[in-house]
Amino acid sequence: MGKTPADGPTKRKFRSRLLTWYARHKRDLPWRRTRDPYHILVSEIMLQQTQVERVIPKYHEFLRRYPTLEALARASRAQVKKSWYPLGYNIRPVHLHLVAREAVARYGGTLPDDPETLQTFKGIGRYTAGAIASFAYGKPAPILDTNVKRVLGRVFYGMDGRRVKERDLWQLAGALVPRRRAYDFNQALMDFGATWCTPRKPLCLPCPMRTFCRAYPLA
């Protein structure tokens, strides 16, 4: 693992350049038009194993059928699994259903806003907890998925994020996320990894991070 150069000025530069990049390049996705924690949860669980294009129609259909956590909790497990089709990985609707029942039983049909409590739900891991806390409630909670790992690994360590200790990347993501703009920052990180700093064809030459990215130039 390389030594991280994440000093204050570099972190500030990364944050501001990422937010500027996002203002120009952000994707218009249906779950960005809501702050409803349940809707965000549904989108995040669907996106875990499925491409955005396939998730969009299913996201709308699923929420038409189960518009609230209460509605989902009332359904049977078999019904929920059927509604999930044709998305694969059938453990996902089972977890979602369990979360809905627990939210109704313990939290009055909503989801808590802090990542630690969210992680006590079966089916909500650290990433999903951070996504709900920041996207629904604007909390400065870090997120770390495959795309984010790749970006942080390249920029701050000059290597693929899979070769960096996960604990170090979580710490870095937590140090980077700004208190006031956690929502935009986390969305920006995901878009930047999904569309710009991609696994095979990163757009290094016109990249706003090129002056301090430790992996520059990759392509």
Q: In the complex, what is the shortest distance from the CB of residue 182 to ligand SF4, in angstroms, rounded to a whole number?
A: 21
Residue with smaller CB distance to ligand SF4, 4 or 43? 4
Residue with smaller CB distance to ligand SF4, 133 or 207? 207
Residue with smaller CB distance to ligand SF4, 157 or 196? 196
**Residues 84, 27: Cα–Cα separation, whole Å:** 25
Question: Helix 37-47 and helix 52-65: axis angle, to 10°?
Answer: 140
Structure tokens at 208: 């706003």
32 is a contact residue toward ligand SF4 (CB under 6 A):
no
Cβ-based neighbours of 87, under 8 Å, separated by 6 or more: 46, 49, 50, 54, 55, 58
**Residues 51, 127: Cα–Cα separation, whole Å:** 17
Q: In the complex, what is the shortest distance from the CB of residue 55 to ligand SF4, in angstroms, rounded to a whole number?
A: 25
Q: In the complex, what is the shortest distance from the CB of residue 31 to ligand SF4, in angstroms, rounded to a whole number?
A: 25
Residue with smaller CB distance to ligand SF4, 55 or 169? 169
**Residues 171, 174: Cα–Cα separation, whole Å:** 5
Active-site positions? 44
**Residues 203, 195: Cα–Cα separation, whole Å:** 9
Contact status, residue 14 vs residue 154, Cβ threshold 8 Å: no
Residue with smaller CB distance to ligand SF4, 182 or 207? 207
Q: In the complex, what is the shortest distance from the CB of residue 149 to ligand SF4, in angstroms, rounded to a whole number?
A: 12
209 is a contact residue toward ligand SF4 (CB under 6 A):
yes
List binders of ligand SF4 among 189-208 (CB under 6 A): 196-197, 202-204, 207
Phi-psi region for residue 198, left (φ > 0), alpha (ψ -120 to 50) or beta? beta
Size of the site for ligand SF4 (CB under 6 A): 14
**Residues 75, 69: Cα–Cα separation, whole Å:** 10
Say which residue the tokens 């990422």 belong to: 18
210 is a contact residue toward ligand SF4 (CB under 6 A):
yes
Q: For the window 43-82, what string marks contact with ligand SF4 as x by the rule CB under 6 A?
A: ----------------------------------------
Q: For the window 127-166, what string marks contact with ligand SF4 as x by the rule CB under 6 A?
A: ---------------------------xx-----------
Q: Exposed (0-12), middle (13-18) or buried (19+): which is 52, by Cβ within 10 Å?
A: middle
Name the residues that contact ligand SF4, by CB under 6 A.
154-155, 196-197, 202-204, 207, 209-210, 213, 215-216, 218
